[in-house]
A and B are shown apart, each in its own frame.
Chain A
Amino acid sequence: MLDSLPSLEAAIGSVSRPVVRFLHLKLGLSPSQLTWSSLGFSIGAAIAVGAGHLQAGLILILVGQIADHLDGSVAREFHLASPEGARLDTLVDRLSEAAVFIGFLVAGLAPAKVIVLAFVAIMLLTSIAERSRFDPGFKRWMLYFGLWVPYPILFSVIFVANLAGFVIGLLILDIKFQNRMDALGGDLDTIASRAATAETAERVPRTEPA
């Protein structure tokens, strides 16, 4: 979520820097270890919520999200950021949401249909977010509002926001492709196939000479 709010990210980053340095320099924790710890907290949260301890579960979700934030901070602070780390972060984020959502499903706090649909919408958005660079961020943090708003409504909001985000993301990618086609020019009758071929050629990884 913080990725879409750079100024807030910077503010939190300046506050959390001492913690980040302590975690990495004193405790020797790597970004990946922090990433996996966030999944551990999320699984703990799921168990707590499933067992009927909603508030304890929400606190564990919060701790998991803090760990999830700190892994990126450690990576940036100590120049350990990598595409693999970013992919692991995304994978663990989705696993964390799956775990937490199962906890809510077991607790019967919202209908199974809405919880499953919310997760499907998050997965759809994730499938193109890296390319579209668009993610409204309506995921786990929405669940904190459950102290005031019924969970069926919150899961519906997560579903609608992420599905809308997916549609917008698709349109962003369409516009990028349209720009590619317009720049290509030539015979309009074959413009899509020529632009698609050019895009595919760009995506093929280059092999280093032996």
Chain B
Amino acid sequence: MTIFTHVLATTLGVKLFGLHGKDVVLAYAFGVAVDIDHLIKMPFYLRTVGLRNEKGYYWRSSLQEPVAFLWIIPLCFFLGTWVPALFFAIHLAMDYSVRYEKMPWYPYSPFVTRGWLIRMPDAAKEIGLFAVLLCSTLYLLLKRP
């Protein structure tokens, strides 16, 4: 999923759950900012592919795979809030609906999956979800209290 869809989903979640203060920061950190691993992979992409646009490159890392729950759940206990785990789960659910390869338990397991809803075209899922999230967010933002 694109960063815009993650931002929309997180914004909607923040509104729906009525989050404030540090919980909002945590929601965006674990709902959106975990995508920072794409920046970590950027030098590898440039080294291997170069400046051209090559689809299918493996941009993911364990920072945004289910294996990250191993450190996110203890962090939730430490911080006394389930916001990181919840928004990370939303991020994961969205990413796993796109059909590229993923390694959910690496480095503990070499298991590779393409996720779920893989028969539906990725573009249709992305556009459909984006539209639903946009409408829902606008409704929540514009409705009278």
Q: Answer whether residue A63 sits at the interface, using C-beta atoms and an 8 A cutoff.
A: no
Within 8 A of B (CB), among A150-173: 156, 159-160, 163, 166-167, 170-171, 173
| Chain A residue at minimum C-beta to C-beta distance from B110 | A196
What's the nearest-Cβ distance from chain B to residue A191, in Å?
6
Q: In the complex, are the beta carbons of A191 and B74 less than 8 A apart?
A: no
Q: What residues of A have a CB within 8 angstroms of the CB of B112 in the complex? A: 192-193, 196
Chain A binder among B8-16, B83-91, B96-104, B129-137: B96-104
A171 to B36, CA, bound (A): 12
A159 to B77, CA, bound (A): 11
Q: In the complex, are the beta carbons of B77 and A117 less than 8 A apart?
A: yes
Q: In the complex, are the beta carbons of A171 and B101 less than 8 A apart?
A: no
A170 to B126, CA, bound (A): 29
Q: In the complex, are the beta carbons of B71 and A171 less than 8 A apart?
A: no
**Quick one: which of B48, B77, B101 contacts A189, CB cutoff 8 A?**
B101
A192 to B78, CA, bound (A): 34
What's the nearest-Cβ distance from chain B to residue A194, in Å?
9
Contact-size category for B: 20 to 34
Q: Answer whether residue A106 sits at the interface, using C-beta atoms and an 8 A cutoff.
A: no
> Per-residue 0/1 for B98-119: is the Cβ within 8 Å of any A Cβ (1 yes, 0 no)?
0011110011101110000000
Q: Answer whether residue A200 sits at the interface, using C-beta atoms and an 8 A cutoff.
A: yes
Knowing A113-B77, A196-B112 touch, does A173 contact B107 (C-beta < 8 A)?
Answer: yes
What's the nearest-Cβ distance from chain B to residue A186, in Å?
11
| Chain B residue at minimum C-beta to C-beta distance from A167 | B71
Q: In the complex, are the beta carbons of A188 and B78 less than 8 A apart?
A: no
**Quick one: which of B71, B100, B110 contacts A124, CB cutoff 8 A?**
B71
| Chain B residue at minimum C-beta to C-beta distance from A200 | B110
Q: In the complex, are the beta carbons of A174 and B71 less than 8 A apart?
A: no
What's the nearest-Cβ distance from chain B to residue A39, in Å?
25
Q: Answer whether residue B20 sits at the interface, using C-beta atoms and an 8 A cutoff.
A: no
Q: In the complex, are the beta carbons of A192 and B101 less than 8 A apart?
A: yes
> Per-residue 0/1 for A75-99: is the Cβ within 8 Å of any B Cβ (1 yes, 0 no)?
0000000000000000000000000
**Quick one: which of A127, A191, A197, A199 contacts B58, CB cutoff 8 A?**
A191
Knowing A128-B107, A181-B58, A192-B101 touch, does A171 contact B74 (C-beta < 8 A)?
Answer: no
A200 to B109, CA, bound (A): 9
Q: What residues of A have a CB within 8 angstroms of the CB of B63 in the complex? A: 167, 170-171, 174
Q: Answer whether residue B55 sits at the interface, using C-beta atoms and an 8 A cutoff.
A: yes
CB pairs A–B below 8 angstroms (9 shown): A117-B74, A124-B71, A124-B74, A127-B108, A131-B107, A174-B106, A175-B44, A188-B56, A189-B101
> A residues bordering B, Cβ < 8 Å?
113-114, 117, 120-121, 124, 127-128, 131, 156, 159-160, 163, 166-167, 170-171, 173-175, 177-179, 181-182, 187-193, 196-197, 199-200
Top 9 nearest A-B pairs (CB, nearest first) are: A188-B56, A196-B110, A192-B101, A174-B61, A193-B112, A170-B62, A173-B107, A182-B48, A189-B56
